[in-house]
Amino acid sequence: MHVVDLDGARDGSQGNHALIATLATEERVKLQVGGGLRDDAAIAKMFSAGVARAVVGSAAITQVERVRTWLTYFGADRIAIAFDVRQDADGVARVTTHGWQQQSQISLWSAVDLYSASGLKHVLCTDVGRDGALSGPNLDLYREAVKRYPRIHWQASGGIRDSRDLWDLDATGVAAAISGKALLENLIPLEELQSFLPNASSPV
């Protein structure tokens, strides 16, 4: 389960930590949590609460050296780097930071290359132009990402409408897909999710 602490993402607070810690006690759920994880203590606190993987966002661009040490210290399998991107007029995916408020000139590929020697394993890539729009995922972007970096476990986010989009993303080679709005609006029935959730069970 992917969880974003929006309060934390906005101001770095840990006001939702108790709720996240409660979710982490569910034995059948492995949590991946992001939002406001900007220092060693915040990440360590998440792991102490039972979170399986921490997601690092803006710090991956603004604090590169520190994030590199996190990959080494906490382990590459426990850290996912989130790159939110917006395509420019030439179709190049440029990284945005600080809740999509700041547009950088660094490309997604250059951002990933910053961690090429650090054992980076998990990258969550969100096309912010499609996020929440139910317009379909950017399949070309994820296809290119997998082709360029086949050893990275790519997580695709943004635009997912239905189970057909999940099948299309699966065909690109991404390791995972993140869906929010489509699930909240019941556009992907549970029975259609089962193929993508091999360890899931129906709610009782």
The pLDDT-based confidence of 9 (bands split at 50, 70, 90) is low
pLDDT > 90 in the chain, percent: 65
What is the 3-class SS of the chain, one letter each residue?
CEEECHHHHHHCCCCCHHHHHHHHCCCCCCCEEECCCCCHHHHHHHHHCCCCEEEECCHHHHCHHHHHHHHHHHCHHHEEEEEEEEECCCCCEEEEECCCCEEEEEEHHHHHHCCCCCCCCEEEEEECCCCCCCCCCCHHHHHHHHHHCCCCEEEEECCCCCHHHHHHHHHHCCCEEECCHHHHCCCCCHHHHHHHCCCCCCCC
* C-alpha to C-alpha distance for 155 and 129, rounded to whole angstroms: 16
Closest CA to 126 of 148, 111, 114, 116: 111
* C-alpha to C-alpha distance for 163 and 193, rounded to whole angstroms: 7
74 close to 43: Cβ distance less than 8 angstroms? yes
pLDDT in tens, 37-95: 889 999 999 999 999 999 999 899 999 999 999 999 999 999 999 999 998 888 899 99
Average pLDDT of span 122-151? 93
45 close to 17: Cβ distance less than 8 angstroms? yes
Predicted confidence at residue 170, as pLDDT, reads: 95
154 close to 141: Cβ distance less than 8 angstroms? no
> Where do we find the tokens 């961690």?
115
Average pLDDT of span 106-118? 95
Residue 163 has pLDDT above 50, yes or no: yes
Residue 150 has pLDDT above 60, yes or no: yes
Structure tokens at 73: 């210290």
The pLDDT-based confidence of 195 (bands split at 50, 70, 90) is confident
Q: Pairing mode, if any, of strands 102-107 and 93-97?
A: antiparallel
CATH code for the part of the protein at 77-196 = 3.20.20.70
* C-alpha to C-alpha distance for 190 and 90, rounded to whole angstroms: 39
Specify the higher pLDDT residue, 201 or 128.
128
Note the residue count of the chain. Answer: 204
Among 8-12, 87-91, 123-127, 129-133, the minimum mean pLDDT is found in 8-12
The pLDDT-based confidence of 200 (bands split at 50, 70, 90) is very low
For the chain, the domains span 1-56, 77-196
Predicted confidence at residue 13, as pLDDT, reads: 67
Residue 14 has pLDDT above 90, yes or no: no
